[in-house]
Amino acid sequence: MNLKDVLRKGDPAADDPGLSPEEIQAMRRTVLAAVPESRRRAWLIPVATAAVLILAAILGLSLWRQPAQPTRLASEERAVAPSPAQRGRVGEGSSSPTPKRPLPFPPPRQGAGEGATSHPDREEKVVRVHPRPRPAPVPKPEPVEQARTETPQQQIQFSTPGGTRVIWVLDRTAE
């Protein structure tokens, strides 16, 4: 008896009837049920990747825009702050006052509007002045009455923090 005959005689699958129809159907169901699952997974990967990318983009955009806001606010503040030129105009106004000039110490907002419209190039100077502490209260001139502008003499009064009162009497006719 040669090797081939021995192997055929002892073939483990020689008399085996194979799988029963029930076994085959059960196996078929199990195998085919695994297909949609794998397809769903295949779809999940690109969807999840896209979601992560979109989230990262949104996060990046929000982080990028956040620092821009303070700078814009700072520029707004700069525009609001009174410029030294405006402050200097006090002295100017005091040395050679003209009756129809604006008040030497206008409220900050009033000055801002003026500075922003008439001297937009002076903003650079303002940047240097802004972080300084507020100067000591400068003696505010008492409001000049409108009626006085009609008269040839004009009076400007200052009161220093020490209590000294300065009164300038400007004669219009002396010009």
Footprint of other proteins (CB under 8 A): 1, 3-4, 6-14, 16, 18-19, 23-24, 27-28, 30-32, 34-36, 38-39
User: What's the closest the beta carbon of residue 71 comes to other proteins, in angstroms?
Assistant: 53
Q: Which two tokens stand for residue 171?
A: 């004669």
User: What's the closest the beta carbon of residue 65 comes to other proteins, in angstroms?
Assistant: 43
Amino acid (one-letter) located at 134: R
Q: Which two tokens stand for residue 58?
A: 């949104």
157 membership: H or E segment, kind and range: strand 153-159
The residue (of 43 and 64) whose beta carbon lies closer to other proteins is: 43
- DSSP label of 128: H
User: What's the closest the beta carbon of residue 49 comes to other proteins, in angstroms?
Assistant: 19
Neighbours of 168 (CB within 10 A): 13
**Cα 155 to Cα 149: distance, rounded to the nearest angstrom:** 9
The residue (of 41 and 72) whose beta carbon lies closer to other proteins is: 41
User: What's the closest the beta carbon of residue 27 comes to other proteins, in angstroms?
Assistant: 5
**Cα 110 to Cα 143: distance, rounded to the nearest angstrom:** 15
The residue (of 19 and 61) whose beta carbon lies closer to other proteins is: 19
